[in-house]
Structure 1
Amino acid sequence: MPIGKLVLNQVPDNYFADVEQAAFDPNAPKGIDGGARNYGRDGAMRFDANGERSKNYEPNSYGEAAQTSEAYEHGLALTGTTGPSPRALHVEDDDFSQAGALYRVMPEEARKRLVENIAGSLSQASRNDVIERSISYFRKADADYGRRVADAVARRRP
């Protein structure tokens, strides 16, 4: 089935406006979407024969895979502990240095806008503990950053 033809006849002047906002989705043209149900046949960690060439949809011309009231997925017999394993915290984990480095390379006008935007939203939080915890994160990134956010929030709070 012919879908169409894509021709690049000029270099975009504004890449974001001309290309990224075009919402062109070549892998799924309208009306040719994949099935909404994949029947769980090809899942993560599949290592058996996977039903080989048997049909896994219904109706089909071979009379296979007829609709049934049986459970779609069968439970697994497990022993021991299951579930996600606990995440290890490491002393070298650092969630704040990149944010601080970004703040320090910003021009002063950009820093002011950033602080005012954050304070505008953060000052509307109803719980003081949330505000204090957030400010502590900004302080960990950069002391000046945290101080300025705290001052801006304090000016806005009743």
Structure 2
Amino acid sequence: MTTTAVAVGKRSGRSLITEQEFDMLAAFCADEYGLERCVANQVVDQALALTYVMGTTRSGSVMAPSQLVDPGWHTLILHTDWYADWCQRHFGYFLHHQPNSKLRSRGLMTSVTGRIRSAGFEVDDRLWGTSSECNAPTCCGDGPCC
């Protein structure tokens, strides 16, 4: 008997919500933070993956978004009714915002992206300052990443 391994594709943060919800959040992020829509799409995607991992693992106190993903995280929490409902459906509790941006470092961002990858999500290293080529605009500017 021959066994064939099937590669499991990575999922996106975007896959956690409807297209209408994603469009609403990405449009807000682009407008509110002055981002091009294609960038806002990636930022919101990564924020959703981060938030999902923080919520499902109850690790919000030890994880943080990069400076570039932070607008996506804020976009989610600024839509309070939607965000509260989404948290309840996915985690069974409201995941509070616990600002710890002063703790950002390349090491922390590498740990965070590792956790996101381990949960099966795609990671855009350009937004986390963890790319092997730490040159602008790859480097997020958080802590001693460059």
Q: State TM-score, norm by structure 1.
A: 0.21
| Between structures 1 and 2, the one with greater helix share | 2
Q: Compute the TM-score of the two structures, normalised by the length of structure 2.
A: 0.22
Point out which structure has higher relative CO (alpha carbons under 8 A, 6+ apart): 2
